[in-house]
Structure 1
Amino acid sequence: MRGRSTRLIVALDTKDTAQAVRWRHETAGHAGAVKLGLEFTYACGLDAVREAAGDSPLFLDLKLHDIPNTVASAIGSLAALRPAMLTIHASGGRAMIAAARVAVNETFPENARPLLLAVTVLTSMDAGALHETGVEGSVEAQVVRLGRLAIESGADGLVCSSHEIAPLRQALGDKPVLVVPGIRPAGSAPGDQKRVMTPAQARDAGADWIVVGRPITRASDPAAAAAAIAAELSA
Structure 2
Amino acid sequence: MLTYEQASDKVIIALDCSKERAFELADMLSGKATWVKVGMTLFFAEGPAIVDAMRERGLRVFLDLKVHDIPFQVQGAVRAASLTGADILSIHGLGSSAMIAAARKGAEEAAEQRGGDRTRLVAISVLTSMDQAALAEIGVESPVAEEVARLASLAYGSGSDGIVCSPQEAAEMRALLGPDALIVTPGVRPAGAEVGDQKRIATPAASLAAGASKLVIGRPITGADDPVAAFDAICAEIMA
Which of 216, 223, 240 is equivalent to 1:218? 223
Q: Post-superposition, which runs of at least 4 consecutive aligned residues in structure 1 deviate over 3 A?
A: none
Which of 180, 184, 189 is equivalent to 1:184? 189
- What is the distance in 2 between the residues matched to 1:78 and 1:102? 13
Contact 2:189 2:203 (C-alpha < 8 Å) held by counterparts? yes
CA RMSD of aligned residues (A): 1.6
Q: Which runs of 5+ in 1 are unaligned?
A: none
Pairing of 1:154-193 with structure 2 (within 5 A): 154-193=159-198
Aligned residue in 2 for 1:146? 151
Aligned residue in 1 for 2:214? 209
Query: SS at 2:83's partner residue?
Result: helix
| Range 70-79 or range 152-161, more displaced | 70-79
Contact 1:30 1:230 (C-alpha < 8 Å) held by counterparts? no
1:25 Cα offset (Å): 1.9
Aligned residue in 2 for 1:71? 74
Using CA pairs below 8 Å that are at least 6 residues apart, which structure has the higher relative contact order? 1
- Residue 120 (structure 2) pairs with residue 112 (structure 1): no
Contact 1:21 1:53 (C-alpha < 8 Å) held by counterparts? no
Q: Which runs of 5+ in 2 are unaligned?
A: none
Q: Which amino acid aligns with 1:46?
A: P
Which of 59, 62, 66 is equivalent to 2:62? 59
Contact 1:158 1:177 (C-alpha < 8 Å) held by counterparts? yes
| Range 70-79 or range 156-165, more displaced | 70-79
Q: Which amino acid aligns with 1:78?
A: A
Query: SS at 2:66's partner residue?
Result: strand
Aligned residue in 2 for 1:41? 43
Contact 2:80 2:110 (C-alpha < 8 Å) held by counterparts? no
Identity of aligned residues (%): 44
Which of 165, 183, 199 is equivalent to 1:194? 199
1:161 Cα offset (Å): 0.2
Contact 2:11 2:216 (C-alpha < 8 Å) held by counterparts? yes
1:176 Cα offset (Å): 0.7
Aligned residue in 2 for 1:9? 12
Q: Which amino acid aligns with 2:89?
A: L
Which of 15, 19, 22 is equivalent to 2:21? 19
Q: TM-score, normalised by structure 2?
A: 0.92
- Matched positions, count: 232
- What is the distance in 2 between the residues matched to 1:199 and 1:29? 21
Which of 86, 94, 101 is equivalent to 2:89? 86
- What is the distance in 2 between the residues matched to 1:66 and 1:160? 20
Q: TM-score, normalised by structure 1?
A: 0.94
Query: SS at 2:237's partner residue?
Result: helix
